[in-house]
């Protein structure tokens, strides 16, 4: 099947304006007849549900959490980018666009990125009007900061909880529409399947997580706003409930999954302390501004306390390898290098998976008071989790999975190749290419929900007869039976191992073979072991309780089953992409200095995988990437 990305013609800067002009309109009277199903209530889902309801569509919104306000967008700390140029430092829509394309290592679709940069300014206006308490200057104007190495200050922030504040803004808009009767909200409800009728997405199957009831919902279009798949690694900075189920089940119904191998690793997380560990916590990267990163030179010294290791026996490996950037080397490089020294047996802390982040020199130079002013909350967070005082002894850090750039393939209208199925936010693949810049995730979620889908969805709906499919359709019955049967199957296995034990094993395997650095041998081995593990899972998992009540183990079983299948596609995509770019690093493809070696000649495309029924042999569709505005260049940090 050929991929039609529906990119409007014309000059880059005019595409979105032109597309808005050319987009179809639906008569206000008719809008009320259309039902849109929105799955997920994070930034993308809440903003889309609220805005579509404002326009007059009937909306049903679903989330697995107990309240839409708890979606994992809430955990974003840093900020949100917008090309407002309030600082008069030379920012513009074009510069934000350029930075994002380059930051994505030239693996994103230019037209989508440009649109993202354009609407970024509207997002800030919208959020301020909703009462989002962004940081301000004394004069009452909005404050900005520079983030993630950007050369302009374009990041808006609300203390360390920008994600929560933006989500609460979108949630308040959603509440307004729920109160007005335009949105019907289904909390504690998980999507189990997409229902397709004549090749169009016309509904979903859900499970009520309180009563266990499996239900059908019909609609004229389906929006998946279900986030990323970082929890395939088990340990990540994602929330425990984050899962691939919605996008994966849609994939199995025909939607293409694009670039799953683009996963982002964050270098400054608190390391794993034991095998009971359930999640990893991120600390702001800003710590690297003053902290020095090191490990012992000799593996024999890892058991010593840092104080026992003299200066001459310490290896400040980032400063040694990247003298000009030192401890501020980019995320992926810092992460990979930390992994390397740990692989050499020089890692510190439990399990040997950690490197020191040492503030002794900075404290000596500026005093503890200054360091506390800069990073006090982070030192407190570190102390809470590890019980160690970062002022007295070096912190320990290790990289962790943070964000996933891949996702379901969508066209310029954010519609997948499955007509009617639209995908927003982290769940789609479109805007970040192979690597996401800091403070861009929040921007994309809200851009898709507030400003893109409300315009583009009409291009699909205008050709549909509203309410033409109901849950009486045989496809709904079939899907419902399948989901019921699968739920029952999990309960009937009655094996010996808990769901978590499988998830943990899968995560370790995928992290080891398809984590920060990948190679052919490791990926091949993972592709052999994942099906074995999946097989064992389906024969030996133990899910207690019943399907007719609140049963968290059953919920997890369904999600892990999907991760077991998805993991294979992730490794396959990583194996297929014989280059290194952004968050995807293949050991075979690097410059002698360890820099990622992109192969624009052969891999300047998005890999959109189609489900073939056989996990080992998905169908590869390529969307070629062309760059009209931003010229291909090598990313260099020497």
Partner 1 sequence: MSQLNLHLKVWRQNAGQPGHFQDIEAPEIPDHASFLEMMDIVNDRLISNGQEPVAFDHDCREGICGMCSMQINGVPHGPEKATTTCQLHMRKFRTGDTIWVEPFRAKAFPVIKDLVVNRGAFDRIQQAGGFISVRTGAPQDANALPIGKVVADAAMDAAACIGCGACVAACKNASAMLFVSAKAGQLNVLPQGQPEKDRRTLGMVRQMDKEGFGNCTNQYECEAACPKEISVRWITKLNRDYAVAAVKEALGNSPKVAGGGD
Q: Using the rule CB under 8 A, is 480 a contact of partner 1?
A: no
Q: Using the rule CB under 8 A, is 92 a contact of partner 1?
A: no
Selecting among 331, 436, 518, 559, the annotated active-site residue is 331
Burial state string for 499-508 with b = 16 or more CB within 10 A and e = fewer than 16? beebbbbbbe
- Token output for 154: 């374009």
Subset of residues 221 to 260 that bind partner 1, contact rule: CB under 8 A: 237, 239-241
Q: Using the rule CB under 8 A, is 69 a contact of partner 1?
A: yes
Q: Which residue in 27, 552, 578, 619 binds partner 1 (CB under 8 A)?
A: 552
Distance of closest approach, residue 70 Cβ to partner 1, in angstroms = 4
By CB atoms closer than 10 A (0-12, 13-18, 19+), residue 324 is: exposed
| Number of residues lying near partner 1 (CB under 8 A) | 83
Q: Using the rule CB under 8 A, is 379 a contact of partner 1?
A: no
The pairing of strands 257-258 and 200-208 is unpaired
Distance of closest approach, residue 496 Cβ to partner 1, in angstroms = 8
Q: Using the rule CB under 8 A, is 583 a contact of partner 1?
A: no
Q: Which residue in 550, 587, 590, 635 binds partner 1 (CB under 8 A)?
A: 550
Q: Which residue in 18, 136, 392, 520 binds partner 1 (CB under 8 A)?
A: 136
Q: Using the rule CB under 8 A, is 213 a contact of partner 1?
A: no
Distance of closest approach, residue 454 Cβ to partner 1, in angstroms = 7
- Token output for 542: 């133990």
Judged by CB, which is closer to partner 1: 56, or 326? Answer: 56
Judged by CB, which is closer to partner 1: 377, or 464? Answer: 377
Helix/strand/coil for 566: helix
Distance of closest approach, residue 545 Cβ to partner 1, in angstroms = 6
Q: Which residue in 106, 451, 511, 611 binds partner 1 (CB under 8 A)?
A: 451
CA-to-CA distance for 272 and 354, rounded, in angstroms?
A: 8
* Cβ(458)–Cβ(52) below 8 Å: no
Sequential DSSP letters for 264-316: EEEEEEPPP-STT-----B--GGGGGT-EEEEESSGGGGGS-GGGS-GGGEE-
Helix/strand/coil for 444: helix
Judged by CB, which is closer to partner 1: 140, or 474? Answer: 140
Distance of closest approach, residue 579 Cβ to partner 1, in angstroms = 34
Specify whether 331 is catalytic: yes
* Cβ(609)–Cβ(258) below 8 Å: yes
Subset of residues 388 to 427 that bind partner 1, contact rule: CB under 8 A: none
CA-to-CA distance for 7 and 458, rounded, in angstroms?
A: 16
Distance of closest approach, residue 630 Cβ to partner 1, in angstroms = 27
Measured N-to-C along each axis, helices 453-461 and 43-55 cross at an angle, to the nearest 10 degrees, of 60
Q: Using the rule CB under 8 A, is 184 a contact of partner 1?
A: no
Q: Which residues contact 165 (CB under 8 A, 6 or more apart)?
A: 127, 132, 133, 134, 158
Subset of residues 300 to 339 that bind partner 1, contact rule: CB under 8 A: none
Which of 275, 217, 268 lies closest to 77, judged by CA?
268
Q: Which residue in 172, 393, 486, 587 binds partner 1 (CB under 8 A)?
A: 172
Distance of closest approach, residue 631 Cβ to partner 1, in angstroms = 33
Which of 402, 175, 407, 190 lies closest to 285, judged by CA?
402
CA triple 553-555-557, angle to 5 deg: 70
Q: Using the rule CB under 8 A, is 126 a contact of partner 1?
A: yes
Subset of residues 488 to 547 that bind partner 1, contact rule: CB under 8 A: 496, 498, 500-501, 542, 544-545
Helix/strand/coil for 622: strand
Q: Which residue in 61, 108, 178, 250 binds partner 1 (CB under 8 A)?
A: 178
* Locus of tokens 């140029």: 85
* Locus of tokens 């740990």: 342
Q: Which span (168-176, 298-306, 313-321, 558-566) binds partner 1, by CB under 8 A?
A: 168-176
Helix/strand/coil for 356: strand
Judged by CB, which is closer to partner 1: 185, or 261? Answer: 185
Distance of closest approach, residue 137 Cβ to partner 1, in angstroms = 6
Active site residues: 331
């Amino acid at each position: 099947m050929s991929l039609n990305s529906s990119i409007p013609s014309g000059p880059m800067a005019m595409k979105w304006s032109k597309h808005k002009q050319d987009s179809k309109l639906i008569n206000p009277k008719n809008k009320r007849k259309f039902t849109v199903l929105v799955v997920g209530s994070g930034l993308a889902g809440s903003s889309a549900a609220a805005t579509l309801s404002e326009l007059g569509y009937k909306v049903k919104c679903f989330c697995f959490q107990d309240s839409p306000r708890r979606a994992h967008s809430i955990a974003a700390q840093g900020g949100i980018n917008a090309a407002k140029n309030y600082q008069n430092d030379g920012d513009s829509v074009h510069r934000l666009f350029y930075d994002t394309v380059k930051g994505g290592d030239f693996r994103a679709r230019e037209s989508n990125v440009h649109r993202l940069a354009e609407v970024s300014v509207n997002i800030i206006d919208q959020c301020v009007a909703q009462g989002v308490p962004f940081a301000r200057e004394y004069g009452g104007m909005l404050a900005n900061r520079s983030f993630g190495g950007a050369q302009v200050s374009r990041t808006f922030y609300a203390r360390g909880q920008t994600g929560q504040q933006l989500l609460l803004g979108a949630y308040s808009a959603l509440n307004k529409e729920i109160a007005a009767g335009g949105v019907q909200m289904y909390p504690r409800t998980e999507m189990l399947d997409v229902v397709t009728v004549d090749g169009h997405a016309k509904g979903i199957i859900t499970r009520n997580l309180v009563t266990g009831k499996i239900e059908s919902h019909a609609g004229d279009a389906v929006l998946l706003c279900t986030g990323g798949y970082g929890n395939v690694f088990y340990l990540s900075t994602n929330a425990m409930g984050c899962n691939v189920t919605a996008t994966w089940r849609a994939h199995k119904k025909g939607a293409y999954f694009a670039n799953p191998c683009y996963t982002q690793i964050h270098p400054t997380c608190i390391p794993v302390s034991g095998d009971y560990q359930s999640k990893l916590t991120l600390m702001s990267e800003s710590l690297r501004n003053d902290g020095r990163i090191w490990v012992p030179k000799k593996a024999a010294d890892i058991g010593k306390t840092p104080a026992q290791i003299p200066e001459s026996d310490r290896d400040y490996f980032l400063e040694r390898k990247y003298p000009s950037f030192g401890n501020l080397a980019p995320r992926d490089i810092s992460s990979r290098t930390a992994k390397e020294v740990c692989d050499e047996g020089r890692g510190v802390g439990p399990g040997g998976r950690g490197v020191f982040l040492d503030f002794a020199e900075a404290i000596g130079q500026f005093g503890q008071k200054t360091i506390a002013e800069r990073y006090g909350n982070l030192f407190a967070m570190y102390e809470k989790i590890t019980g160690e005082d970062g002022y007295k002894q070096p912190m320990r850090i290790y990289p962790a999975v943070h964000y996933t750039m891949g996702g379901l393939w969508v066209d310029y209208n954010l519609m997948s190749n499955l007509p009617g199925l639209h995908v927003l936010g982290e769940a789609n693949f479109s805007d970040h290419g192979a690597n996401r810049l800091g403070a861009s995730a929040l921007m994309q979620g809200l851009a898709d929900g507030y400003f893109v889908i409300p315009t583009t969805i009409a291009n699909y709906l205008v050709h549909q007869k509203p309410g033409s499919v109901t849950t009486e359709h045989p496809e709904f019955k079939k899907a419902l039976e399948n989901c019921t049967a699968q739920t029952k199957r999990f309960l009937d296995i009655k094996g010996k191992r808990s769901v978590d034990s499988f998830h943990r094993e899968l995560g370790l395997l995928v992290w080891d073979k398809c984590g920060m650095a990948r190679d052919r041998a490791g990926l091949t081995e993972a592709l052999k072991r994942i099906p074995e593990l999946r097989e064992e899972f389906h024969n030996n998992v133990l899910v207690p309780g019943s399907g007719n009540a609140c049963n968290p183990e059953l919920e997890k079983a369904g999600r892990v089953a999907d991760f077991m299948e998805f993991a294979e596609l992730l490794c396959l995509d990583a194996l297929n992409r014989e280059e290194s770019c952004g968050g995807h690093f293949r050991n075979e493809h690097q410059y002698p200095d360890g820099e990622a070696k992109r192969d624009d000649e052969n891999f300047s495309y998005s890999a959109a995988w189609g489900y073939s029924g056989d996990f080992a042999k998905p169908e590869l569709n390529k969307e070629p990437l062309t760059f009209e505005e931003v010229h291909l260049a090598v990313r260099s940090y020497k």
